[in-house]
Chain A
């Protein structure tokens, strides 16, 4: 579950983002909406423990992130957060199985090949384990990235613009797969998007609309 209360984040440059309070139950779906630059990425970064809130409360998967040091947040993230980036970022240096193995490397755990096979199998791409990402179709690559996101059985899955650059049919399929996978894993799903199609595909989702709260920031680049 995710709970925020008077969550704020101030950029080193001085701009302040204020986020509405939200409570997402475990296994629920949160739709994070807003224009580009309105603070969706920052909210995701806060929820993933990549940044520290400037003020307010933020608890994810039962853990108050405000109380953790950066090193503790890294370790916590490895165990509890699954991440599906907009660009899938499958490493060309590694096979599909090797890309999933990165999750174990990041968590500092020994690689569990059976678990990797099971995760790929659950998404119907087990036969691709030995291939390089360049040999995959777009849909296959997305399934592999999703398998990587759920491999460690995270309590929260963060998906960043999962339908960007997809046509309607592919977007529908991607969202259905994402939701089904999250449900199967019992994970809370957070989808950050400015794509209106997502709202239609996830009618039961809670919505956190950041447009109403913050004006668009000048640029999303270079802010840390």
Chain B
């Protein structure tokens, strides 16, 4: 009989104790896997959505709010800004690219964003169906949005006022779907994109401004929500935000700075969860230790008999270690599965809120450390019991009377 088979039989002979130890160890590993997966995906999502955006210019207020609203579409923007002021910034020598964004409406909870074709090309978006918008009131749907709502090319829909959904419908100004984007794994997946003019058209008419002023006056009055800016040179990062913040009524926020701040805040939560996982692992280690220690005590006669039958001390120690390794292997499988399941569940819940995209199907290289960690914990917990088994003497069977 092999050590691996015998250790399994011994483990299976105590199903309750083995099950509880397995559960504890698996929970600790699941918590750590969950933190690894969510943190990596949040980092990746931020990196992807932030790529190539050096500054966000919008109304004065919280810079983080501006970034969250403008780049990730997770928050409401602080307000609108005059188109004229943005056009002036676009002429600034330090600005290589400026993408205007106009927010304000949504459909079934998905934001309608008025912008230019530059926004699509910035993220390298590809059309899966139809074409890009060519006139106001034509829209292109993000892949996730199209899948969730079932809207298809050629269909019309009315936007609702407000970003959260549930606002009054702009029924008089329906949008028509011109195209659907292929999934890009970026923020565009959950947006409805249209020309900036569409947003103006809906709101100016809705607010009774559409027919009373001439073109020039309209331009004077027009607003957008914010602008994404790419610098011509990294040196601009030093002067441009200061210039905007001190000389205009606008606010310039640096995404890299704000996201670092945000991740530091999110990081506290991740650290807490990681610490929780570590405590669970420590508890599991202690529990495995106690279980194995008791197993050695209970099985002292069995072990002594094995010595009498010719098993070497190392073989007995190996038997105990093997029991711990069984726990580690099973806990690794369960912990990884539970960690991925939890992440998938969270992703599913967040998807319903059109929030961060998380999946349980992602496998990270760093997860290879999870079984290593489990093995380390199990071996550490089994060391003393294994040593105790190593020291068992067959002579005690002869001295039992």
- Residues of A whose CB lies within 8 Å of any CB of B are 36, 41, 44-45, 48, 50-51, 71, 74-79, 81, 83, 85-87, 89, 91-94, 98, 101-108, 110-111, 148, 160-161, 164, 220-221, 223-224
Contact = CB atoms under 8 A, between A and B. Distances in A.
A98 B13 CA distance: 12
B22 to A, nearest CB: 17
A41 B393 CA distance: 13
Contacts of A104: 1
Interface string B285-328: 00000000000000101101111111110010000000000000
B315 A108 contact: yes
Contacts of B3: 105
B84 interface: no
A83 B309 contact: yes
Contact of A164 (B310, B393, B397, B401): B401
A50 B395 contact: yes
B399 A220 contact: yes
Contacts of A74: 307, 310-312
A160 B177 CA distance: 91
Interface in B1-56: 1-3, 6, 9-10, 13-14
The bracket for how many chain B residues form the interface is 20 to 34
A192 to B, nearest CB: 8
Given A101-B1, A102-B1, A224-B395, A77 B310 contact: yes
Nearest to A87: B400
B88 interface: no
Contact of B311 (A105, A160, A224): A105
A77 B306 CA distance: 11
Contact of A89 (B13, B302, B393): B302
Contact of A86 (B6, B393, B400): B400
B9 A44 contact: no
B13 A94 contact: yes
Contacts of A76: 310
A155 B218 CA distance: 110
Interface of B: 1-3, 6, 9-10, 13-14, 299, 301-302, 304-312, 315, 393-395, 397-401
Q: Which of B301, B315, B394 has the most CB of A within 10 A?
A: B394
Contact of B308 (A50, A71, A224): A50
Contacts of B299: 91, 93
13 contacts: A48-B394, A50-B395, A51-B395, A83-B308, A85-B398, A87-B301, A89-B301, A93-B13, A103-B309, A106-B315, A161-B401, A220-B399, A220-B401
A50 B301 CA distance: 15
Nearest to A50: B394
B309 A102 contact: yes
Contacts of B9: 93-94, 98
Nearest to B13: A93
Q: Which of A50, A76, A223 has the most CB of B within 10 A?
A: A50
Nearest to A41: B398
Contacts of B399: 41, 220-221, 223
A102 B315 CA distance: 12
A105 B398 contact: no
A45 to B, nearest CB: 5
CB-based closest 5 A-B pairs? A78-B310, A93-B13, A106-B309, A41-B398, A106-B311
A149 B78 CA distance: 85
Contacts of A107: 309-310
Given A78-B310, A101-B1, A101-B6, 7 more contacts: A77-B309, A77-B310, A83-B309, A89-B301, A105-B311, A107-B309, A220-B399
Given A91-B299, A224-B393, A106 B306 contact: yes
A157 to B, nearest CB: 12
